[in-house]
Amino acid sequence: MNSKSLVSIDDISRDEILQLLESARHFEENPNRRLLEGKVVATLFFEPSTRTRLSFETAVNRLGGRVIGFSDASTSSSAKGETLKDTIKMVSNYVDLIVMRHYLEGAARYATEVTDVPVINAGDGANQHPSQTMLDLYSIYKTQGKLENLTITMVGDLKYGRTVHSLIQAMRYFNPTFNFVACEELRMPDEYKELCDRNGIKYTEHTDFSAEVINSSDILYMTRVQRERFTDIMEYEKVKNLYTLRNAMLADAKENLRVLHPLPRITEIDQDVDDNPKAYYFDQARNGLYARQAIICRALGIENA
C-alpha cells in the first residue's frame, strides 16, 4: 500500500490530522494555486455522489491539475464484468492519484493492494469516509475554536453511517463526550462503542431526541437514514422518519451549538432550520473543498505552505 493513501481515518495520526487542518486553513485563504500542474487525478465513483465527487474535482481544478474518471459505473467496463482489480490496474497506468467511492466495505483497502498509486477512499459502503471526517473536523474546529472536550450528539442512522464511524475514530484523540441518538434498528455498532470504552470516551445511548440532549450539545451531527443500505425496504419505511430536527427545538440550545450534516438530507432537518445561525451544514460542505485540497496534496507529497 502506498503510505500516502487515505483509506481509513485510522491511517493517520493525531499530528497528521492537525497538519491537514492547518493545510486546509491555508487553502481556505487561497484555494487557487498551480500546485498540481502536470498531475492527473482519477475520480472513480461506483456509488452516487454530489458533494464528494464535485469537491474533489473542484479541488484538483483549482490547483491546476486534471481529472479523469466516471460518476456512473454503468458507463465503465465494470458493466461488462471487468473486475475492480483490473479497473484499478488500468486506471493506475494513466494517473497520479485515485479517488474512489464504492458500495463494498473494504473496496478502497483492496484497491491499495493492487496498485502503487495512492488511493483516497471517498466512501466504502457503511465502513469509512475519511475525507468527510477531515472536513467535519475542520468545521468543528472553525465553529468551536477547538477540538477538545466537546459534547457531540449523533442522530439517525448510526448503524450504517460511515461518516459517524469515521468521526468517532478521529475524535478519540480529543476527549469528546458522545450522545448516540438512534432507534434500536440503527444503533451504533458495538465495535465503535468498544473503541470509546478502550479510549476512555464517555457516551450515552438514547432513543429519544430530547431537549435535554440537544441543550447539552456543542455539535449536533444529524444523519440521513440511508435507503440504499437496507435489504428489506419495509424495514427502511419503518425507521426513515423517526428523527427530524425543527427550528423550535433549538430555542434553548447552547450559543455555540452548530448543526452539522454530511448531506444529502431528506427529512431529518426541516427546512425551517436553514436560516438559523446555528445551521452550519452548507458551510460544512464548502469546507470540503479546502479539506480535500489538503488531502490531495498530502497524497501527492506536495507542500502547500
The residues binding ligand CP (CB under 6 A) are: 49-52, 123, 132, 262-264
Task: Name the residue nearer to ligand CP (CB basis): 102 or 203.
Answer: 102
H helix runs in the chain, sequence order: 14-29, 51-62, 84-92, 107-113, 130-144, 162-171, 190-198, 211-215, 233-239, 281-300
Active site residue 142: no
Give the integer Cα–Cα distance in Å for 93 and 85.
13
Active site residue 14: no
| Region of residue 149 (phi > 0: left; psi between -120 and 50: alpha; otherwise: beta) | left
Active-site position among 75, 80, 198, 231: 80
Task: Name the residue nearer to ligand CP (CB basis): 122 or 196.
Answer: 122
Smallest distance from ligand CP to CB 288, Å: 8
Smallest distance from ligand CP to CB 80, Å: 26
Reported as half-sphere exposure (CB side, CA atoms, 13 A), residue 271 has a value of 1
Reported as half-sphere exposure (CB side, CA atoms, 13 A), residue 164 has a value of 33
Task: Name the residue nearer to ligand CP (CB basis): 99 or 201.
Answer: 99
Task: Name the residue nearer to ligand CP (CB basis): 57 or 96.
Answer: 57
Active site residue 187: no
Active-site position among 39, 53, 62, 101: 101
Furthest C-alpha separation in the chain: 56
Smallest distance from ligand CP to CB 226, Å: 10
Cell of 163: 461518516
Active site residue 89: no
Task: Name the residue nearer to ligand CP (CB basis): 176 or 262.
Answer: 262
Give the integer Cα–Cα distance in Å for 209 and 101.
31
Give the integer Cα–Cα distance in Å for 108 and 129.
10
Nearest to 94 by CA among 56, 36, 43: 43
Give the integer Cα–Cα distance in Å for 108 and 124.
7
Task: Name the residue nearer to ligand CP (CB basis): 57 or 218.
Answer: 57
Smallest distance from ligand CP to CB 263, Å: 5
Active-site position among 43, 52, 143, 163: 52
Smallest distance from ligand CP to CB 249, Å: 23
Give the integer Cα–Cα distance in Å for 295 and 131.
7
Residue 276's contacts (CB-CB under 8 Å, 6 or more residues apart) are 247, 250, 259
Active site residue 51: yes
Smallest distance from ligand CP to CB 210, Å: 26
Active-site position among 109, 129, 142, 240: 129
Cα–Cα distances in angstroms (integers) from residue 58 to residues 53, 206, 215, 277, 285, in the given order:
8, 39, 37, 27, 13
Active site residues: 51-52, 80, 101, 129
